[in-house]
Each structure stands twice: as structure tokens, then as C-alpha cells.
Amino acid sequence: MTKSFILALDQGTTSSRAIVFDRQGQARGVGQREFRQYYPQPGWVEHDAGEIWQSQLDVAREALRNAGASAADVAAIGITNQRETTLIWDRASGRPLARALVWQDRRTAPLCDKLREQGHDRLLQARTGLVLDAYFSGTKLAWLLDNVPGARQAAQRGELAFGTVDTWLVWQLTGGQVHSTDPSNASRTLLYDIHTQDWNDEILALLDIPRSVLPSVAPSSAEVGRALPEWFGGPIPIAGIAGDQQAATFGQACFKPGMAKNTYGTGCFMLMNVGDAPVASRNNLLSTIGWGLPGQGAGPAGRPTYMLEGGVFMAGAAVQWLRDGLGIIQRSDQVEALAASVPDTDDVFLVPAFAGLGAPDWDPYARGTLVGLTRGTTRAHVARATLEAIALQSAELLTCMNADSGIGLSELRVDGGAARNDLLMQMQTDLLGVPVVRPRVSESTARGAAGLAGLAVGFWSGMEEFAGQWEAERRFEPRWNADQRAARLARWRQAVEHAKGWARPA
């Protein structure tokens, strides 16, 4: 292997990023650009698919320039993406039929209610490992087919392609030659059987989705096509794909059962490796595929590694709300100093259910709630309550994971922008009762995509070499005792109950 770099495309909810990694796993060039968010109605969230592609292409070129690299220096491209966001486009022209429906979009909550009332939630969870919720792609795709003029007829004629963001980027990079996804993204659609590793015909019939719109499913670490020379000045293999949270788990080298990571981004997502067999959650967590790797005896989608997952819909987004909605900070990085200026929240709790609640409550009708306010409440108390809400939600998830898996976590590896907030990380370790470990390379999501791509083309010799490059930057140790943790979590539960069901139709 003479090539020097891997190019990781990290397409997120609010920005597109690209990072060039060298053989030591170090970032050598970075590009990032935010793009527009559309909110046409309360609870609706959309993206422009063309802007996603153009912004991702632009930052990839920027990252290569910043690394002083050309296409000839790049061994492979790895892609990681915001999951569940749903796109449909015309196969002939490549033009999207509508804006992308973002994972945060709640417009299909009534359809989920109907399916639940009909008793289909048990089938869906048994096959897909997912809780029936508007979060996932399946009901979003059904909505698009039913509500975009002519879409259903075009789909029935085989003229449309569906994809999550990874599939859209592969389609664009290959000039429409490849319509493919990987098991980590497929397992987030509510259409994919995680046991058989195939699209489930019973669910497709239930949602009236023709199989012809669906992409093929290839291993997460395998060459699926090549980027056209016109994009980067030469062809580059596309060899790694994983949804952002699974990619971050891979990037954190959580390769053994019981290892877990938490990513603090727009949302907050905790994943625990449970091995080569799925674990059915008894606590409303998700059972999902982390990645599929090729190998002896592996199927077309690879050999799966399974995860338990819990998601917090609003983490960094809650801090953005302090900045943009309330105006109590001018920059997101100011929240730590403001929150640290008071010793506690003075019994103020923020439940940031701006887009409903994820695990373990799964309430699409919950709404953001601020409780415990007195005349003595200051913006510092609200800032501290916002950080604590992120940590409290994550602590609940870990409690559920320990119960489901029967594995007691020894440490939690963390990443994402808010993981750089020392106060938040100390709150997290106090509420968990286990150490929180922050890696030296904080770009775990992009690193995971790079790792999957690099392993597919022999850039790294194997998973041991890749895992050996992971290093801890700081380790946070808990200071609270078990009684303190239990009391705070119980008080949090009281606050959550006030938020639940607020927007349910009368």
C-alpha cells in the first residue's frame, strides 16, 4: 500500500465535514460547512438533498487541499452519515422528488400511532429490533410515497430510488452507477430484518413500499464503487460506510462485547457492543447492527456485530437553543463557564423534549419543559440544568443497557463536540458511577468511517493495528456515591413526567 491517506466524509445533521487521515490515524486536513435547516410546520424538519451533496463535495475538496493531497494519494473513501434521514429521487435524472425528511421529523407520529393500535409494533420490533417511532425511515418513506404528487405511481414503475444519506452520497459520487447501503444504515429504516439481514417483505407490504425502491446492502467494510474522476481529479474507491453512531463506536475501538461509547452531538447516542447475536431489549432500547464485516461464512451484507442503543434527541441542540432561542449565551462554548458559575441547578430541571423523547420513554408528544423556577433562578442555573439534562438522559440509558445485557460497564468512552466540555463530562461520570474516558483523537465518527474503508483496502493490517492507535486524552472519575446518584435520577424522573404527552391531540 503506497497511498498515504484515507478520506472520511462525515455528513451530519447540521453540517457536512470531511477529514483526511494518515496511516497513524491522525487528521491531516479538515473541511466543514453548515447547511440550511427547514422547518415548514411544527415538528417537521427537512434538508435540501442537493445542498447536502454540494456541501459534502466542497468540504471533501477543501480537506484534501488542506492536507496537501490529491486523489492519487488517497487509498479509499469512507462515508458516515446522519441516520434515518429519508430521501427519494428519480433514477433517470438523479433529481430528488422532495426535500429530505430529517430523523428529527415527527410528521409520521400519527401513522405510528395507527400501526401501534393495530398491533403491528410487536412484529416490527421482533424483526427490526427497533421501537415503532417516527424517528425511523420506514414511515417517512411511506409518507413521501403517499404525499409527493406522482411518487407512488413512479415507484411502482420502478423509476424511484430511496436512500438514507449514505446511499444518496454513493449515488452522487458514482454518477448514479451504485445504489447501495450498509447493514448499520439499513437496520435503522424499520424495513430491515436484523436476523436474516434482508429487507422484510411482510413489513414492506404493511407500509406499501415496493422493494424496487430499496438499495442493495453491502458489508460496511468493502468496496462498493468508485468516485468519478471529475469530483477529485482521479477515481477513488468507496470502501467504508456506516451510520454516524455505529461509525463512532468503531472509531472508539469498541470491538469487544460490553464496550460502550456515547457521542455528544446534536443528539446524544449511546451504543454498547453485545457481540454476534442481537439482544432484545426489555427497557425500550434499540437492538441494531453496528457493522457488517466480510469474512469466511459471512453473507452478502457481511458478518454482523450487534449493538444496544439508546438515543437522546436533544443534546448539543439544547445548548444551541440557549444560544439561538433564549440568547443567554453568544457562543455554544460559553455554556461551560456560565454553568460553572453556580454550584448546582438550585433544583431547576430542563427536559429538552423539543422533538419528543427517545429511549426509554419514546413519547413523540413530549415537549420541552423547564421546571423548578423561582425568583432566584438565573441564566446560570438554566445553563447548568441544560448540561445536566444531557448527562441525566445518558445515565438513564446506561442503566437500561446494563439491565438488558447483563453486563456491568467498566468505563464509557465519549466523543462529539460536547465531550470537550469538562463540566459536562464530570456530571456524566458522577451520574454513571463509572469512569468517563475521552480519546486523544476526538473525531471518532470520521475515524470509524476511515477505519472501515482502510481495512477494506489493506491500508491498516487489521483491527488490532487500528484499535492500537486509540489513545485516552483524559479520564474523569466519579465523585458521587450511589445515594446521590439515585436521588438525582429520581428527581429527574419527576421532571420528565411533566413533559410527557404535552402535544398529544385532544
- Is 172 annotated to bind ligand? no
Count the residues in the chain.
Answer: 506
Residue 84 annotated as part of some ligand binding site = yes
Question: What's the pLDDT score for residue 364?
Answer: 83
Compute the average pLDDT of residues 367-388.
Answer: 96
Residue 184 pLDDT > 70: yes
The Cα–Cα gap between 47 and 39 comes to 9
245 in a known ligand binding site: yes
User: By the 8 A CB rule, do 134 and 109 touch?
Assistant: yes
Average pLDDT of the chain to the nearest whole number: 93
Query: Are 473 and 440 within 8 A, CB to CB?
Result: yes
DSSP structural state of residue 339: H
Task: Give the C-alpha separation, 328 to 335, whole Å.
Answer: 9
Torsion of CA 133, 136, 142, 144, to 10 degrees: 120
What mean pLDDT comes out for the span 371-382? Answer: 96
Highest mean pLDDT among 61-75, 261-275, 459-473: 61-75
Instruction: Give pLDDT, residue 22.
Output: 94
Over residues 80-86, the mean pLDDT reads: 96
Q: Is the pLDDT of residue 425 over 80?
A: yes
Residue 42 has pLDDT above 80, yes or no: yes
Element at 465 (helix H, strand E): helix 463-468
Angle between helices 121-128 and 109-117 (to 10 degrees): 100
Residue 442 vs residue 497, higher pLDDT: 497
Whether 83 has a binding-site annotation, put simply, is yes
Percent of the chain surpassing pLDDT 70:
100
pLDDT digits (tens, 9 = 90+) for 104-138: 899 999 999 999 999 999 999 999 999 898 989 99
Strands (DSSP E) along 36-105, which ranges?
46-47, 74-81, 87-90, 100-101
The crossing angle, in degrees rounded to 10, of helices 422-432 and 482-499 is 100
> Where are the domains positioned within the chain?
316-396+483-499
Rounded CA separation 52/169 (Å):
9
The b-or-e profile of 465-478 (16+ CB within 10 A means b, else e) is ebbebbeeeeebeb
Strands (E), 160-235: 160-163, 180-181, 192-193, 198-199, 216-217, 221-227
| Angstrom distance (rounded) from CA 315 to CA 270 | 12
pLDDT band at 233; cut points 50, 70, 90: very high
Neighbours of 208 (CB within 10 A): 12
Q: Is the model's pLDDT at 67 over the cut of 70?
A: yes
Residue 421, marked binder: yes
Q: Which amino acid is at 329?
A: I
Give the per-residue pLDDT at 278.
93
Is residue 114 within 8 Å of 134, Cβ to Cβ? no
Pairing of strands 5-11, 15-21: antiparallel
Q: What is the pLDDT at residue 1?
A: 55
CA-wise closest residue to 348 among 136, 185, 491: 491
Backbone angles phi, psi at 315, to 5 degrees: -120, -90
397-412 pLDDT tens trace: 888 888 888 887 888 9
For the residues 306-328, what does the mean pLDDT come to?
Answer: 91
Over residues 432-455, the mean pLDDT reads 92
* Number of DSSP helices (H) and strands (E) in the chain, helices first: 17, 23
Give the pLDDT mean for 78-88: 96
182 is in an annotated binding site: no
* Cβ count near 463 (within 10 Å): 15
pLDDT at 316: 87
Cα-flanking dihedrals φ and ψ of residue 366, to 5°? Answer: -65, 150
Query: Which pLDDT band holds residue 235 (cuts at 50, 70, 90)?
Result: very high
As a whole number of Å, the end-to-end CA separation of the chain is 63
Please name every residue paired with 78 in a beta bridge, in sequence order, or none if there are none: 8, 240
Any known ligand binding at 426?
A: no
Question: Which DSSP letter does residue 323 get?
Answer: I
Does residue 51 register a pLDDT over 90?
Answer: yes
Tell me 354's DSSP state. B
**Which runs of consecutive H residues, i.e. helices, occur in 92-228?**
109-117, 121-128, 137-147, 151-156, 165-173, 183-186, 201-207
pLDDT given for residue 100 in this prediction: 97
Tell whether 428 is in a known binding site: no
Percent of the chain with pLDDT over 90: 81
Per-residue cell: 467: 484499535
Can you name the residues that pair with 424 across neighbouring β-strands? Answer: none
Instruction: Give the DSSP H/E element, type plus range, for residue 238.
Output: strand 236-243
pLDDT at 433 over 80: yes
pLDDT value for 310: 87
pLDDT at residue 43, rounded to an integer: 86
CA proximity to 441, closest of 475, 411, 474, 471: 471
Q: What is the pLDDT of residue 307?
A: 94
| Strand pairing category for 472-476 and 436-439 | antiparallel
Cell numbers representing residue 362 in the block? 419514546
Report whether pLDDT(95) > 70.
yes
164 is in an annotated binding site: no
The reply to whether 105 sits in an annotated binding site is no
Determine the pLDDT at residue 157: 94
8 Å CB contact between 368 and 362:
no
The reply to whether 14 sits in an annotated binding site is yes
Sign of CA dihedral 180, 183, 188, 192: positive
Q: Is the pLDDT of residue 287 over 70?
A: yes
pLDDT at 315: 87
Buried b (16+ CB within 10 A) or exposed e, 22-49: bbebebbbbbeeebeeeeeeebebbbbb
C-alpha cell at position 424: 459536562
Segment 274-292 mean pLDDT: 91
Give residue-wise pLDDT tens across range 187-231: 999 999 999 999 999 999 999 999 999 999 999 999 999 999 999
Geometric angle at alpha carbon 33, from 31 and 38, rounded to 5° = 155
Residue 460's pLDDT is 93
Q: Collapse the DSSP code of 342 into the 3-class scheme (helix H, G, I; strand E, B; otherwise coil) and give the result.
A: coil
Whether 85 has a binding-site annotation, put simply, is: no
**CA–CA dist 4, 340 (Å, integer):** 43
CATH match of 316-396+483-499 with 3.30.420.40: yes
Q: Which three cell numbers stand for residue 133?
A: 417511532
Taking the C-alpha atoms of residue 273 and residue 246, their distance in angstroms, rounded to an integer, is 10
